[in-house]
Amino acid sequence: MASKQRRLAGRTGSYALLTLLAFIVGFPLYIIFAGSLMSLKEITSVPPSLFPMHPIWSTFRDAFVGGNLGQYLAVSFFQSGIIVVGQVLTSILAAFAFAYIQFPWKRTIFVAMLATSMIPFEVTVTANLQTVAALGWSETMQGLVVPFLATGFGIFLLRQAFLQIPKEMHEAAVIDGYSSWKFMWRVAVPLARPSIAALAVFSFLGAWNQYLWPLLETGSNKNIQTIQMGIRGVGGQVSTANVSLAAAAIAVAPLLILLVFFQKHLVRSLTAGAVK
């Protein structure tokens, strides 16, 4: 009886903590959406209003049309899409090599590759800018995406996923005459699908939220400016606080939709290996 009570108390405590954490994560998002529907008077009221009494939907139109967010969103979808495809493909190939192919200095190269994930982007930004300029890609879409087509984190994540595939499966494939190429696409990749999906989501999040690189790389080319740059130009004045919030809500919406659809894969990938 006592242990049952302890379990109940433990479970109640866990749920209380999770609820609190969910609130901490969700509240800022709620404020963005609620604030975007409020009048300026409601936004500035003390104590702050939590619910829009008379929702003003026109703020979204003002942000979208006035801020030309359609173009910024299109650029961001294109840029993020290419980065996701690039990172997933290069990560699969490199991770597979690290997991299944024997070659000299494999471990050293893997550690070196992993080390690239430890270097903050700000450290290499000047070198990247110079390289991109030397390639003649300044203020172009290539310059915006190519430096991000591969990621040490992605290779590490997928290598770990590939290593979890039972050895027996690999041996059976060899007996069946599968080449490495065939084994990778027909066996390893389908089995690592949750990790690949998680990598795709992380890649998209990273690409979508980039600010410094697009700021420096797009220069004067307004045609390749991304949504994060676009929303900074919306509102920016006391009288348009709700329009600024609407722009932020528009920018964050694709990420929320993505998370809803890929939530299962994300959780599965992150917990894979936690329980044997």
Partner 1 sequence: MKTNPLIKILASSALALTSMASVTLVHTTNAQAASSTCDPSLLAKATSKVNITFEESMAGGAVGGTGNKGKLAALIASYNASQNKVHVTDVNDTGGYTDTWTKYVASLSGSGSTPNVVMFAQEDTQAAADTQSVMPISTCLNADKKASVKTFVTKAINAYTIGSTQVGMPFSVSTPVMYYNKQAFAKSGIKSPPTTMAQLIADQKLLQNHGYKYGVALKKDPWITTTWMGLADLPVLNNGNGHTRRATAATFNNATSQAYWNSMQTIIKNGGLASSATGNITTAYANIFAISTDDAGITFDTTAALGSIQDALPLFKNVTLGVAPLPTLTGKSVGSTPPGGNGLFIPKANSNLETAAAWDFIKYLTSAATIAKWSTGTGYIPIRTDSAAAWKKALNATQFGWYNVAYTAFSKGKSDNATAGSVVGAYADIQGDLVTALNGLTQSPWPSASSLLATAQNAATAHILSYNSRL
Among positions 129-168, residues that touch partner 1 (CB under 8 A) are: 129-134, 138-139, 146-152, 155
Task: Give the nearer residue to partner 1 in terms of CB position, either 240 or 262.
Answer: 240
Q: Which of 219, 261, 267, 271 binds partner 1 (CB under 8 A)?
A: 219
Does residue 127 touch partner 1 according to CB under 8 A? Answer: yes
Residue pair 77/226 in contact by the 8 Å Cβ criterion: no
Q: Which stretch binds partner 1 (CB under 8 A): 20-28, 191-199, 219-227, 251-259?
A: 219-227
With binding defined as CB under 8 A, does residue 173 bind partner 1?
A: yes
Q: Is residue 212 near partner 1 by the rule CB under 8 A?
A: yes
Beta strands in 98-169 (DSSP E): none
Local structure of 176: helix, strand or coil: coil
Give the whole-angstrom CA distance, residue 145 versus residue 66: 27
The backbone torsions φ and ψ at residue 144, rounded to the nearest 5 degrees and listed phi first, read -75, -35
Residue 27 sits at the vertex; the CA angle it makes with 70 and 250, to the nearest 5 degrees, is 5
Q: Give the integer Cα–Cα distance in Å for 252 and 193.
A: 26
124 touching partner 1, by CB under 8 A: yes
Strand spans (E) along the chain: none
Does position 117 interact with partner 1 (CB under 8 A)? The reply is yes
Contacts of 153 (CB under 8 A, 6+ apart): 117, 202
Of the two residues 84 and 173, which places its CB atom closer to partner 1 in the complex?
173
| By CB under 8 A, residue 180 contacts partner 1 | yes
Tell whether residue 209 is a contact of partner 1 (CB under 8 A).
Answer: no
φ, ψ (nearest 5 deg) of residue 55: -50, 130
Identify the residue among 1, 181, 260, 274 touching partner 1 (CB under 8 A).
Answer: 181
- Considering only residues 82 through 101, tell me which ones interact with partner 1, judged by CB under 8 A: 89-91, 93-94, 96-97, 101
5 binds partner 1 (CB under 8 A): no
Q: Does 268 bind partner 1 (CB under 8 A)?
A: no
Closer to partner 1 at the Cβ: 35 or 262?
35
CB 100 within 8 A of CB 179: no
